[in-house]
Amino acid sequence: MTEARRRNKVVSVDDVVGRIEDGMTIGIGGWGARRKPMALVRAILRSDLKDLTIVSYGGPDVGLLCAAGKVTKLIYAFVSLDSIPLEPQFRAARENATVEVEEWDEGMFQTGLRAAAQRLPFLPMRAGLGSDVMIHNPRLRTVTSPYDDEEELVAVPALDLDVALVHMNRADKHGNAQYLGPDPYFDDLFCLAASQRFVSTEQIVDTAELTADAPVQTLLLNRLMVDGVVETLNGAHFTTCVPGYDRDEKFQKAYATAAADPASWAEFEQRFLSGDERAYQDAVAAFHAEQSGDD
């Protein structure tokens, strides 16, 4: 096999799901309702996977997986749809205690990813001292500085991941991947913290195109950080993937409305989540055609 073929990491959505096993810890990149790898999340919904631990700055990825009964434990800093402050299916999971939860401060969460990325058992930080985060999460402990200051610090444990799933604007077939929006979020840390790393992308392009019209610093992921690349047009829907598309507010509102009622949710699932990714995208297009007719 040639070097070029070995470096071709293009896979399908089903290939990615086939690499995930029951009970694994899955880190999902993006931030709230922004640039989430939703096509990969929807593929997990269609699978038989169960007993997953999800680690996320959460958005609809968390809500959908909780609603589908895929999640045993959730480690999160927040779970929001941005324009809807609290993700409705996550709210239901919390209120009904259907998942074990571990809430972290946003800075702690980042530090836990950094510890895992550096293959350290923990990293010290000040965030969380004196807060209820320490009270409600007994796994978090403190450590005393070994130096003359003897300062007490939070020992943030590493967020070690079995699998990381992230979504980027563009990538090449080797795994080099690029964001074109205003924020990289922490997708690079998710990949560095994981044993297996998969990137869904709006478009697979030739390597030279990645820097033809964008600064080199937008190349957030290099091929050594990625095990598989999936081309999924509109794969972050209904979250943002700017500059390609904004959050689909009409669809998000329909999602939140359906989540409030079991019968409505069953109809939503049947219409949008019962088929494959192509069926999902077709159903969304039909939904917007109906909305245009009603305007």
H helix runs in 27-105, sequence order: 38-46, 60-67, 88-96
Nearest alpha-carbon partner for 76 in 123, 117, 35, 25: 25
Domains with residue ranges and CATH for the chain: 3-121+158-246 (3.40.1080.10)
CA angle 164, 196, 177 (to 5 degrees): 65
| Residue 227 vs residues 13, 203, 211: alpha-carbon distances, Å | 13, 17, 21
137, exposed or middle or buried, with CB in 10 Å at 0-12, 13-18, 19+?
middle
Per residue of the chain (295 residues), what is the pLDDT tens digit? 455 566 899 999 999 999 999 999 999 999 999 999 999 999 999 999 999 999 999 999 999 999 999 999 999 999 999 999 999 999 999 999 999 999 999 999 999 999 999 999 999 999 989 888 888 888 899 999 999 999 999 999 999 999 999 999 999 999 999 999 999 999 999 999 999 999 999 999 999 999 999 999 999 999 999 999 999 999 999 999 999 999 999 999 999 999 999 999 999 999 999 999 999 999 999 999 999 877 6
Structural tokens at position 288: 């917007």
Residue 178 to residue 214: CA distance in whole angstroms: 9
- pTM confidence score: 0.96
